[in-house]
Amino acid sequence: MADDKKTIGLTDANKATMQRVVELAAFKLDMDAAKFAFALAVNRNCEPTQIEGAGTIWNVGSFDEGGDIKALIQNLFPNVDTPYRALESLMNVGFSILASEIKSNPSVRIEELLKQETGTR
């Protein structure tokens, strides 16, 4: 297995989006918003890609304490051999999706988006 990342982060644009999302949806932690963004990208059938220009924000040990996310990525994407790199790329993609959602509806509520994504409305 190739060397995986020990720290993960966001591009500047996605970091700004994260701050906006945290403020809008009142997430308790930035990390909670980042996990939401990752899941959103996965839900939209996005695949892990290479991401350029991501800064360092979290240590993977604290972001994924029990290693559940790593295992999940490995099970969802068996070809991925660097799950944290995949996680980083997917959360960046997720924030790009969220940025466009906010752009099209600046007063979008996270509950609405969640219902829309999971088809519970």
Partner 1 sequence: MLSIRSIALTDFGPFKDEQRIDFPAETGVSIIYGENMRGKTTLLNAIRYALFGKVIARGATQVALHQIGNWETAKEKGKYGFKVVLEFESDGSKYQLTREHKPRAGITTPQTDVDYQQDCFLRKDGSVLGPAERDYELARIMPETVSRFFLFDGELLQQYEELLRNESDMGRNIKEAIERILGVPVLTNGRTDLGEIAKDAQKRESKAAQKNQKTKALGNQHEALLKQRDGLQEETERLKKELEGLRVGKASKEEVLRKTEKTKGLLDERARLQDEIAVAETRLKEKEDKRQELLAVAWKGLLKKRIRLTLDSLEAELKSARDLYSRALISSDVALKLRTALEDGQCSTCGQELSAAAKERLSGIVSESMLAADKELLEAKIQQFESRIAALKQSEAVSNADVLQVVQDSIDDLKIKKAGSEDRYKEILDQTKDLDETELRKLYSEYDRTLIDMGLLQEGIKRQDEALKTINENIGKVEAEIAKFADADLDTERARKDLCEKLRLLFASAVDAYRERLRAKVEKDATALFRELTSEPEYSGLSINDSYGLTIIHQDGSAIPVRSAGAEHIVALSLMGALQRNAPLRGPIVMDSPFGRLDDQHTAKVVQALPSMADQVMLLVYESELDPKQARNQLEGKLRKEYSIVRRSARHSELVTTAQG
Name the site residues for partner 1 (rule: CB under 8 A): 25-29, 32, 35-36, 38-40, 42-43, 45, 68, 71-72, 75-76, 78, 109-111, 114-115, 117-120
> Taking the complex as a whole, how short is the minimal distance between the CB of residue 68 and partner 1, in angstroms?
7
Alpha-carbon Rg for the chain, nearest whole angstrom, is 14
Give the shortest CB-31-to-partner 1 separation in angstroms.
Answer: 8
Q: Is the CB of 49 or the CB of 53 nearer to partner 1?
A: 49
Q: Which lies closer to partner 1 via its Cβ, residue 52 or residue 68?
A: 68
C-alpha distances (whole Å) from 73 to each of 1, 24, 41, 58, 68 are: 14, 28, 12, 18, 9
Backbone angles phi, psi at 101, to 5 degrees: -65, -45
Q: Measure the CA–CA gap between 76 and 110, rounded to whole angstroms.
A: 25
Q: Are 32 and 75 in contact (CB under 8 A)?
A: no
**CB 45, min distance to partner 1, A:** 7
Nearer to partner 1, 42 or 93 (CB): 42
- 108 burial (CB, 10 Å; 0-12 / 13-18 / 19+) is middle
Cβ closest to partner 1, residue 52 vs residue 121 = 121
In the complex, minimum distance from the CB of residue 96 to partner 1, in angstroms, rounded to a whole number: 16
